[in-house]
Amino acid sequence: MNVELSQEQEAFRNTTRRFLEARVPLLVVRQLYESHDGFERSWWREAAELGWTSLFGPEVGGGGISPIPTRDAVIVAEEMGRMVAPGPFLPVSVVAAALLWEGTATQRADLLPALASGDSIASWALAEPGDVWDPASFMTRAVLDGDIMVLTGTKAYVEAATTSDHFLVTARTDDGLTQALVAANADGVTVTPGRSIDMTRRFGLVTFDGTRVPTSAVLGTVAGAGPAVERQVQLAIALQCAELVGVAQRTLEFTLEYGSSRHAFGRPIVSFQALKHRIADMTVWLEGSKAVTDALAQAIDDEDPESLHLARIAKAYVGEHCPDVVDDCVQITGGIGVTWEHDIHLYNRRATLDRALYGTPEDHKEQVITWLRG
Amino acid sequence: MVAGLSDEMTMESVEAFRTRTRAWMASALPSVEDPPLDSHALQRLLFDNRFAGIAFPREYGGAGLTLEHQKAFFDCAADLLRQVPAGYDHLVSVGMLGPTILEHGSHEAKLRFLPALLRGDDVWIQLLSEPRGGSDMAGATTRLTRDGHVYVLNGAKMWSTGAHVADYGLCLCRSDWDVPKHRGLSTVAVPLRGTPGLTIERIRAASGEAGDFCQEFFDDVVLPTENLIGEEGTGWAVAQTLLLHERNAAGSIGYGHLGPRLSGEDPTASDGLLGPSALLAALRHRRTNGAVATKLANAYIESVVGALTSARIMAGLRVGTHRGGWGSVSKLQASVAKHECIRTSLAALGAEGVIWDGADVRLDNAGTVWLGSRGGTLAGGSNEMQRNIVSERLLGLPREPSLDRDVPFNQVLRGLPAFE
Ligand SMILES: Cc1cc2nc3c(=O)[nH]c(=O)nc-3n(C[C@H](O)[C@H](O)[C@H](O)COP(=O)(O)OP(=O)(O)OC[C@H]3O[C@@H](n4cnc5c(N)ncnc54)[C@H](O)[C@@H]3O)c2cc1C
């Protein structure tokens, strides 16, 4: 996506692409549709060996931390989009980044190596039932009881909920947000599996029923997690936008291949101007999507305060236009495009899912309006 | 060694250039808060200090550096809030015609034309479109005939922006009618001031005002043969180069990067009544309903993404991930976005955009601007032509079928002029 990848990044992208093509081709993605978890742990460990899970740490022993982890991570996300790949890359990356940014040395040492090796999986329990993504409206509470933090409430749309070993929970205390790391098998944690329209991404409800964790499990300070949550959201949006770019780019590629060999009225269908012009518009949207995603990733790595606005702009733009590319490619593909047999629905599924998570483009546009109103 | 001297061995680094530029600008270039200098005077100031034609060879009046240096210069100016030559005619002359002459002119033509162009003494414009059509530019019917030691030009051009204030026009004309259309074209430099046989008329714009565009009639205009740019019969290649620079300029790319593309609340935003910053003001100071606010947010988002897109394409062209006609992508994006911005202003301002106090005609209202707003989606190649280019040349989709490609031009069916 970035036009100026370093040689290491170029190599990283190539190994990522080759790995995905070899290990989870679309045929495998289709098989995983039937599976409970949507991916296999052994496969995830192999992916971890490529470095996917160590971009945000640990600093020692784990291959070294990247100076530009977000810009490296969007490379993986984009490739995953191209292959509508399985695997909890986004939630594991966000939790690892949160540990890197906010964690104590002990917290990092406890979890980062296991995340990096792929032995452990962690997910972010952020949103709440009813499509609630705005922390100001969260109902889940974190209440201090001596040196114990008590968590009560229900988190929804938690990715890889049934396969996660740990949850990073974002909850409310009286005067702010608090985040805590909770083991999935802790007392008072219930995971209810759910499914999504995606072939392989599974989600679940996670309920905390007076779950008690030591304050050493609190990430950052009690009631002081607001800025960290914001930064994690920005990272999630950057990864999601990169994935959307990969999804839309690949869909356009195979649609053009198909449309060049399919004929009507003695001509390839992509020679019709009505289609060519829409394809040109899609090219404009894709270029804009790449540009803004890239700018966001860079702003996050640079700790540029602009990332706050860029994240909303990116989701509003990419979250709208990339799914539109896929949707119009269905139209260009014709009737076969709405069958199970044709792969385009795999891409439409992922695009439609990503559009909705971490706030719709409409939600983000609303935030743009709010800050523009000043 | 003279600062900025370029000879391949000793090219000044972009960073060193940037440092030198900033120092010079701080002391020598007026700030945007100072009384404005016209672009002529500003260009002269740049030229005298070897900051004009930064990516042009020194023997033709340039600074002998690269497009990266040029970008650095104009980015510094924006950063330091300095005045730089602005205006469409300047962009056309320095950003489009200059590099075209540089690429296609003979050594003598470059020596003759470029220093005066870069100094701002001669302003150049493009004479491409004709009354019979602009999109099908290769169908030009303005006639160039050789008569002994001179050329004679007959016919008409139309929509030529700035012809009434310019010194030279680069004219696309037909020199051979017996070969297929693309092969019978030539380009020639036409002096526009006091040239016998040449009539220039401003076209009245939809606003009611005299437009910036003109119509020209050539009636046995005699031109020296040295005014030919390129060879006889290579006019299409020259025009293609010119159009490439025009699209780049529309997206502030390459030679056309004479200032950064504006986005959002840029402090130097001179994007007029209806640019993104004015839309922001509307959002802040007026009661706007949700539907209008959404349109305003869309316009704002497009402006940010558009600027990032141009920067990305420019970087891509430099490192080679992007090749060729990517300027069409940013031209298309920018044209669509600008038109949408103006349309949005109608939504934001309502009656205030179309009715005003006082009996005099006012041009700075949203409605009047709207009347001419399609100019931007036509000029420089219509949106439809850009979409053809993107799909055919960038993505390799099949070309539009055409009935005139391989036919001698004098047998091709031709339509009516837009108006007499
Ligand atoms: C403000 C302004 C400034 C201009 N400045 C200059 C200038 O400085 N120099 C200059 O030479 N010209 C200039 N032009 C002319 C401009 O380049 C032409 O207007 C433009 O190329 C379109 O040509 P036309 O107006 O003859 O429309 P036509 O070519 O007649 O086109 C009419 C419509 O048909 C569509 N169309 C044509 N061919 C196709 C196709 N193959 N596929 C799909 N749709 C097609 C067009 O998109 C357009 O919508 C200017 C125009 C404007 C409005």
Q: Do A372 and B398 count as a contact with CB atoms less than 8 A apart?
A: no
Cα(B57)–Cα(A357) distance, rounded to whole angstroms?
Answer: 53
B340 in catalytic set: no
* CA–CA separation, B375 and A153 (whole Å): 58
Beta carbons of A290 and B312 less than 8 Å apart: yes
How far apart are the CA of B160 and the centre of ligand 1, in A?
A: 11
pLDDT in tens, B184-200: 999 999 999 999 999 99
Helices assigned H by DSSP within B227-323 = 235-250, 276-285, 290-319
Average pLDDT value for residue range B283-291: 80
Q: What is the DSSP letter of B260?
A: P
Separation between Cα atoms, residue B43 and residue B37, nearest integer Å: 10
Domains of chain B: 17-119 (1.10.540.10), 124-233 (2.40.110.10), 263-394 (1.20.140.10)
Cβ distance A276 to B301 less than 8 Å, yes or no, reads no
Q: What is the pLDDT of residue B270?
A: 40
pLDDT tens readout for residues B297-328:
998 899 889 999 999 999 999 899 999 889 99
CA–CA dist B326, B333 (Å, integer) = 11
Report which of A117, A81, A101 is spatially closest to residue A239, judged by C-alpha positions.
A81
- Identified catalytic residue from B246, B302, B340, B392: B246
Whether the CA torsion B52, B53, B57, B61 is positive or negative: it is negative
User: Which residues line ligand 1 at a C-beta cut-off of 6 Å?
Assistant: B 125-129, 133-135, 159-161, 213, 375, 378-379, 381-382, 384-385, 388, 400, 418
User: What's the confidence (pLDDT) of residue B6?
Assistant: 47
Ramachandran area for residue A176 (φ above 0: left; ψ -120 to 50: alpha; else beta): left
Write the pLDDT tens digit of every residue in B135-166.
999 999 999 999 999 999 999 999 999 999 99
Q: What pairs with residue B210 in β-bridges?
A: B204
Q: Which two tokens stand for residue B329?
A: 């992508």
Cβ-based contacts of A317 with chain B (< 8 Å): 301, 305
pLDDT band at B286 (very low <50, low <70, confident <90, very high): confident
Which structure tokens are listed for B348? 């934001």
pLDDT digits (tens, 9 = 90+) for B71-124: 999 999 999 999 998 877 788 999 999 999 999 999 999 999 999 999 999 999
Q: In whole angstroms, how far apart are CA A305 and each of A231, A300, A302, A355?
A: 10, 8, 9, 24
For residue B266, what pLDDT band results from cuts at 50, 70 and 90?
A: very low
Q: What is the pTM of this model?
A: 0.91
**Residue in A325, A344, A319 with CA at minimum distance from that of residue A248:** A325
> What is the pLDDT averaged over residues B355-359?
90
Closest approach of A290 to chain B, Cα-based (Å): 8
Task: Determine the residue of B92, B129, B242 to mutate for testing ligand 1's pocket, defined as the one with the most ligand atoms within 8 A of the Cβ atom.
Answer: B129
- DSSP secondary structure code for residue B92 in this structure: I
Tokens (6 digits) for B57 = 């060879």
> Read out DSSP for A99-135?
HHHH--HHHHHHHHHHHHHTS--EEEE--BTTTB--G
For residue B380, how far is its CA from the centre of ligand 1 (angstroms)?
7
Residues in chain A predicted with pLDDT less than 70, given as ranges, are 59-65
Q: Give the number of other Cβ atoms within 10 Å of residue A77's Cβ.
A: 29
Q: What is the B384 CA–ligand 1 centroid distance (Å)?
A: 9
The pLDDT assigned to B39 comes to 85
Written as one letter, the residue type at B297 is A
- Distance from the Cα of A107 to chain B's closest Cα (Å) equals 38
CA angle A360, A362, A364 (to 5 degrees): 75
Q: How many CA atoms lie within 13 A of A27 on its CB side?
A: 3
**Cβ contacts (< 8 Å) between B390 and chain A: which residues?**
279-280, 283-284
B131 touches B351 (CB < 8 A): no
- What's the token pair of residue A321? 């236009």
Answer for the pair B177, B409: CB distance below 8 angstroms, yes or no: yes
Instruction: Kindly compute the dihedral angle of the four CA atoms of residues B26, B31, B36, B41, in this order, to the nearest 10 degrees.
Output: 20
Say if residue B2's pLDDT is above 90. no
Tell me which of A6-10, A131-135, B5-9, B55-59 is least confident. Answer: B5-9
Q: Which residues of B148-182 are buried (b: 16+ CB within 10 A; e: fewer)?
A: eeebbbbbbbbbbbbbbebbbbbbbbbbbeebbbb
Question: What is the structure's pLDDT at B277?
Answer: 63
Distance CA A37, CA B85 (A): 62
Q: How many secondary structure helices (H) and strands (E) does chain A include?
A: 11, 10
Q: What share of chain B is helix, strand, coil (3-state, %, to 5)?
A: 45, 15, 40
Of A280, A271, A285, the C-alpha closest to A324 is A285
- Which ipTM score applies to this complex? 0.90
Nearest-angstrom CA–CA distance, A189 and A180: 13
B416 Cα to the center of ligand 1, angstroms: 14
State yes or no: pLDDT of B259 exceeds 80.
no
* B261 — pLDDT class (breaks 50, 70, 90): low
> Taking a C-beta distance cutoff of 8 angstroms, is the pair B200, B216 a contact?
yes
CA–CA separation, A190 vs A210, rounded Å?
11
> Residue B276: its pLDDT value, please?
59
Give the per-residue pLDDT at A50: 95
Structure-token pair, residue A231: 């930064």
Full set of structural domains in chain A with CATH = 7-117 (1.10.540.10), 122-219 (2.40.110.10), 226-372 (1.20.140.10)
Q: Is B8 exposed, middle or buried (0-12, 13-18, 19+ CB in 10 A)?
A: exposed
- The tens digit of pLDDT for each residue in B162-185 reads 999 999 999 999 999 999 999 999
